[in-house]
Amino acid sequence: MIEAVIFDLDGVIVDSEHVWNEARESLARERGGRWHADAQRDMMGMSSREWSRYMHDVIGLEEPPEEISAEVVRRLEAIYRSELPLVDGAVDAARRLADRWPLGLASSSNRELIDLVLGLTGLAACFKATVSSEEVARGKPAPDVYLEAARRLDTDPVACTAIEDSENGILSAKAAGMRVIAIPNPRYPPPEGALAEADAVLPSIRGLTVDAMAAPAR
């Protein structure tokens, strides 16, 4: 029986993976970093501490990781305030499910961006608990952020269903013992092996209904 539903943010509620990519790549190129084709995929799911360290150590930016993180977040905040890249149907889906279950959010985004998105969309009241991976020891694919979301919801992780779009997110929620519904990100689709770990796959968040939660089809 489902007792709570925990959403990812990037790629599920906001179509933002490409925005993160552009912000980090532009910063790297402006400051003489060694950007490479796999950098975005490498950083998907990492906490801010992890990806800013990656930008410093692997991409080669000279600034301290905390300064790198702050600058990327500043750029995303400006983009979100100008035009928030919402996933079509995501706000309605969250509201539908919030009428039935307590909702949590387990995100790799920084706390400032989580709060900004939920404020701009009017969804803040729908989520009983929100967790940024910067608030736990390890980012996705480790289970920490999902386990903490379940703890804040006062719910056993095995009674939670996670809504995810990416490989690291799916693996993170499964490692936490949760049932996972995958809605693959069309820009950065997870490999078939990761999708096989999900309990159900939906082509669009528009199909995320109360009935679909009970018995979603692959």
On the question of pLDDT at 192 being above 50, the answer is: yes
pLDDT for 54-98, tens place per residue? 999 999 999 999 999 999 999 999 999 999 999 999 999 999 999
3-class SS letters over 106-133 = EECCCHHHHHHHHHHHCCHHHEEEEEEH
Using CA atoms, how far apart are residues 133 and 50, in angstroms rounded to an integer?
10
Of 205, 188, 17, the closest CA to residue 108 belongs to: 17
Indicate the fold that domain 17-82 takes in CATH. Answer: DNA polymerase; domain 1 (1.10.150)
Q: What is the pLDDT of residue 20?
A: 92
- Cβ–Cβ contacts within 10 Å for residue 169, how many? 32
Q: What is the mean pLDDT of residues 186-205?
A: 93
Backbone angles phi, psi at 179, to 5 degrees: -75, 140
DSSP state at residue 89: T
What is the rounded average pLDDT for all residues in the chain? 94
Domain 4-16+85-214 has CATH 3.40.50.1000: yes
To the nearest 10°, report the CA torsion of 46, 5, 19, 89.
170
Q: What is the mean pLDDT of residues 149-175?
A: 97
Q: What is the pLDDT of residue 215?
A: 62
Pinpoint the residues of the chain covered by CATH 3.40.50.1000: 4-16+85-214
- Residues 6 or more apart from 119 whose CB is under 8 A from it? none
pLDDT for 102-115, tens place per residue? 999 999 999 999 99
On the question of pLDDT at 218 being above 80, the answer is: no
Q: Are 109 and 100 in contact (CB under 8 A)?
A: no
b/e string for 186-201 if b means 16 or more Cβ within 10 A?
Answer: eebebeeebbebbbbb
CA separation, residue 76 to residues 8, 12, 36 (Å): 17, 17, 21
Its pTM stands at: 0.91
Select the more confidently predicted residue: 41 or 19.
19
3-class secondary structure, 40: helix
Of 83, 25, 73, the closest CA to residue 48 belongs to: 73
Using CA atoms, how far apart are residues 113 and 177, in angstroms rounded to an integer?
27
Pinpoint the residues of the chain covered by CATH 1.10.150: 17-82
